[in-house]
Structure 1
Amino acid sequence: MASPSFQERRGVWLTNVASAVLFVPGSSQRAIKQLAEHHFNTVYPVVWNRGYTFYPSALAKEMIGKPQEPFINWTRGNVDILKVIIEESHQRGLEVLPWFEYGLMIPRSSLLAQKHPDWLTESKEGSANTFFQDELEAKNEKNNGNLIQRWRKSAYERQVSQLAWLNPLHPEVQQLIKGLMLEVVMNYPVDGVQLDDHFGMPVELGYDPLTVKIYQQEHRGKSPPKDTHNGEWMRWRAAKMTAFMTDLVKTIKTINPDIIVSLSPNSHPFSYQNYLQDWKTWVRRGLIDELVLQVYRNDLNSFNRELHQSAVKLARKKIPVSIRILSGTLNNTVKIEQIKEQVETVRKQGFDGVSFFYWESLWGYLTPESPYKRRRIFDELFSK
């Protein structure tokens, strides 16, 4: 159980998808003001998404010729939105942990993928495209013949099937990710940085020439198994991800030893089996300062089961662990009573806090109840 002096983590993600918070002048300031008024204490603003940065980046300009995401450049001009968010948040007592949302994932059509195709890892069929499996889709899918549900699923699959993956074994990819994170840590007074479920390698990938060459060098010329789920092949790739994570954290901590390295993954079995993201080992090795576990469930029993997994119990013995709750998306609204029930469940079990995906669905236009009702319930939950 948390001690009486411990401050509960109360966070929310600020994203560029189905949200105007980064693009409309004054929106980020209004959002942070409202969050502070409702006793939130943390924001996770997106800074890396779809091959673009959401801050003026010298590295991005060098790599792809564009210093930041084009639409934010068009709507906000010379405004540094990350700087605005940090200044407003710190003024109101909120911590800021920039969120490198896309991790190693990029659209196949992105400038980065087009300019550096050799940076992408591939499937055994030689394709750089991959299908991002979302645990929310896997767990909450309702294939009941509903036409709208089938249309949404089809649209989702079309979108994510056009994704590609930067090769975590490629030295220049490693330098890119480290460089982006160092830009943020060195140029902004951030409280931490956050990675999530996209910082891994899909299990069907790893058959690109570079990865195969490295594997052969370490296996006396033997090629990787064709079975993508071969135990040794999975362990080898996961170990390479862990080595990259180790180097990344060491580099960041050299610049700022006090920076919080936050990770917001799916459950460990899902993360490892699908994305070779062995975050349990990362916890054991002290690579993570905060775990914000994604638990997107509608059913309370299923929600509870995720909180009791062995990897979660291990993490709770070593670092602060809070729970990432879905407050709604454009296609999946969530009732406030479910949110309240899940927050109360997390608290009863003594976790270190809760964070919500995402801002617009807290009490904005993506809600099944009135904004007033939702704000009132959040105020009741967090005024204690």
Structure 2
Amino acid sequence: MTIIETRGVWLTTTDSEVLRSQERIASAMDFLAETGFNVVFPVVWGKGATLYPSQVMQQTFGIEIDPSFLGRDPLAEVVAVAHRVGLKVIPWFEYGFASSYNMNGGQLLAKKPEWAARDCKGNLLKKNGFEWLNSLNPEVQNFMLSLILEVARNYEVDGIQGDDRLPALPCEGGYDQITVERYRQQVGKHPPQNYKDYQWLKWRADILTEFLARLYQSVKAINPNLIVSMAPNIPGWGFQEYLQDSRTWLERGLVDILHPQIYRRNIFSYRCTLEQLLHKELAGIELARLAPGILMKIGSYQISGNELVQAIEFNRACGISGEVFFFYEGLRENNNALAKVLQRGPYAQAATFPSVADLNRLSENRIGLSSIWQRLIRLFHTIF
């Protein structure tokens, strides 16, 4: 019987050298396939530049590709090698609507200052070090959509992926003149100074949801078999802080697979967060559409082999068939220790990455919420 699971990993340029040469890419793809993975999410948009030669960027900003990759096409290289060893490739637009990180807007806003997102004091919107484009601005949305469709049209990819910055906007944003006037015309008053006012949150989140609807329809018009994948912030919190209404995205069928970033540093916290999502924020949602993001490594932190296995087992006990790990280098630490854990354990038997048809079929046979809780209760009795 064929196992259908999402077994994915993100490929970054931060703290990783994988994309720095064709040889490293080839080695990494071979390694992932041997370990039991079936899909990779390589970054293609970060720090105000693409990791492929982009005519959209060339025409808009005069920057064809990230200068450190000049003369190469890392995306094309990943696609060629990954497909050869049976891995799917879903390009990851990591920076989304963020223009820069601690660079006062960087090269994007230097050329297009009118695209800046603004807080209630009129300052450039900045949150957790990231400066932001105004994702509520139709021109900015058209630019981002053009980048995504350029990849969908020009490469033999298997889908596209947004994340905690696509589609998104920090809740402190939306106070630029264009958005303020749009709100005034539609609602009849100026936006409240309280950026957490629910009506104001929902109004802005709805604009981003409509952008995602247009993105989804546009990608499917190019190829209906392309997976539209999103890796947003934790549902609920993501709405409050980044206007990501991911429950509505799923209910409206605007995303094929959702990878909520359950980046917790111990198994108890991971279980509790996932349990709450299934019971509250995502209660009743089709489980076939979920494959959580799991934190494998960041800075000095690295998940243990035992907790890695427990997280996967908990996913399966909840009826969730898959996960995506952040990020690749965690597999390589300590002489490939975590890769060996996966290869000998939960990923020992090969699994097929779900197609659009698989997802539709599996969604029709989704597990009811009461059944989920029965399985969770049995699992906790086993553990404790």
The SS at the match of 2:337 is: helix
Alignment of 1:43-122 (within 5 A): 43-73=40-70, 78-107=71-100, 108-122=104-118
Q: For residues 217 and 312 of structure 1, what CA distance do their matches in structure 2 show?
A: 33
Q: For residues 321 and 246 of structure 1, what CA distance do their matches in structure 2 show?
A: 19
In structure 1, the gaps of 5 or more residues are 133-159
Q: For residues 281 and 3 of structure 2, what CA distance do their matches in structure 1 show?
A: 23
TM-score normalised to structure 2 length: 0.85
Q: For residues 225 and 355 of structure 1, what CA distance do their matches in structure 2 show?
A: 38
Instruction: Report the counterpart of residue 316 of structure 1 in structure 2.
Output: 286
User: What amino acid maps onto 1:204 in structure 2?
Assistant: E
The SS at the match of 1:86 is: helix
Contact 2:55 2:64 in 1 (8 A): yes
Contact 1:22 1:72 in 2 (8 A): no
Instruction: Report the counterpart of residue 373 of structure 1 in structure 2.
Output: 337
TM-score normalised to structure 1 length: 0.85
User: What amino acid maps onto 1:230 in structure 2?
Assistant: D
Q: For residues 289 and 375 of structure 1, what CA distance do their matches in structure 2 show?
A: 27
The correspondence for 1:189, drawn from 156, 179, 184, is: 156
Given the alignment of the two structures, is residue 202 of structure 1 paired with residue 167 of structure 2, yes or no? no
User: What amino acid maps onto 1:359 in structure 2?
Assistant: Y
Instruction: Report the counterpart of residue 121 of structure 2 in structure 1.
Output: 125
Instruction: Report the counterpart of residue 136 of structure 1 in structure 2.
Output: none
User: What amino acid maps onto 1:383 in structure 2?
Assistant: A
Q: For residues 43 and 330 of structure 1, what CA distance do their matches in structure 2 show?
A: 21
The correspondence for 2:308, drawn from 339, 345, 355, is: 339
User: What amino acid maps onto 2:201 in structure 1?
Assistant: M
Deviations 1:204-226 (A, max 9, x none): 11101110010111123x11001
User: What amino acid maps onto 1:13 in structure 2?
Assistant: W
Instruction: Report the counterpart of residue 383 of structure 1 in structure 2.
Output: 348
The SS at the match of 1:194 is: strand
Q: In the TM superposition, what is the alpha-carbon distance from 1:316 to its structure 2 partner? A: 2.6
Given the alignment of the two structures, is residue 354 of structure 1 paired with residue 323 of structure 2, yes or no? yes
Instruction: Report the counterpart of residue 181 of structure 2 in structure 1.
Output: 213
User: What amino acid maps onto 1:121 in structure 2?
Assistant: A
- Matched positions, count: 341
The SS at the match of 1:383 is: coil
Q: For residues 194 and 372 of structure 1, what CA distance do their matches in structure 2 show?
A: 27
Q: For residues 115 and 343 of structure 1, what CA distance do their matches in structure 2 show?
A: 45
Q: In the TM superposition, what is the alpha-carbon distance from 1:110 to its structure 2 partner? A: 1.7
The SS at the match of 2:27 is: helix
The SS at the match of 1:315 is: coil
Instruction: Report the counterpart of residue 145 of structure 1 in structure 2.
Output: none
User: What amino acid maps onto 1:355 in structure 2?
Assistant: V
The correspondence for 2:238, drawn from 268, 271, 274, is: 271
Q: For residues 359 and 208 of structure 1, what CA distance do their matches in structure 2 show?
A: 38
Contact 2:233 2:244 in 1 (8 A): no
Q: For residues 285 and 61 of structure 2, what CA distance do their matches in structure 1 show?
A: 38
Q: For residues 178 and 25 of structure 1, what CA distance do their matches in structure 2 show?
A: 28
Instruction: Report the counterpart of residue 12 of structure 1 in structure 2.
Output: 9
Q: In the TM superposition, what is the alpha-carbon distance from 1:111 to its structure 2 partner? A: 1.1
In structure 2, the gaps of 5 or more residues are 350-384
Contact 1:63 1:112 in 2 (8 A): no
Q: Compute the RMSD of aligned alpha carbons.
A: 1.5
Contact 1:168 1:244 in 2 (8 A): no
Q: In the TM superposition, what is the alpha-carbon distance from 1:47 to its structure 2 partner? A: 0.5
The SS at the match of 2:293 is: strand
Q: In the TM superposition, what is the alpha-carbon distance from 1:372 to its structure 2 partner? A: 4.3
Q: For residues 204 and 105 of structure 1, what CA distance do their matches in structure 2 show?
A: 14
Contact 2:294 2:323 in 1 (8 A): yes
Contact 2:117 2:176 in 1 (8 A): yes
The correspondence for 2:146, drawn from 154, 175, 179, is: 179
Contact 1:298 1:338 in 2 (8 A): no
Q: In the TM superposition, what is the alpha-carbon distance from 1:265 to its structure 2 partner? A: 1.4
Percent sequence identity over aligned pairs: 35
User: What amino acid maps onto 1:16 in structure 2?
Assistant: T
Q: For residues 33 and 168 of structure 1, what CA distance do their matches in structure 2 show?
A: 38
The correspondence for 1:253, drawn from 195, 216, 220, is: 220
The SS at the match of 2:248 is: helix
Distance 1:336 1:53, change over 3 A: same
User: What amino acid maps onto 1:316 in structure 2?
Assistant: E
Distance 1:314 1:266, change over 3 A: farther
Distance 1:16 1:258, change over 3 A: same
Contact 2:257 2:289 in 1 (8 A): yes
Contact 1:101 1:198 in 2 (8 A): yes
The SS at the match of 2:19 is: coil
Q: In the TM superposition, what is the alpha-carbon distance from 1:314 to its structure 2 partner? A: 3.2
Moved more, 244-253 or 326-335: 326-335
Deviations 1:332-369 (A, max 9, x none): 23322222221222122221212111111112xxx3xx
User: What amino acid maps onto 2:120 in structure 1?
Assistant: K
Q: For residues 284 and 254 of structure 1, what CA distance do their matches in structure 2 show?
A: 20
The SS at the match of 1:268 is: coil
User: What amino acid maps onto 1:97 in structure 2?
Assistant: I
Q: For residues 43 and 285 of structure 2, what CA distance do their matches in structure 1 show?
A: 25
Contact 1:9 1:353 in 2 (8 A): yes
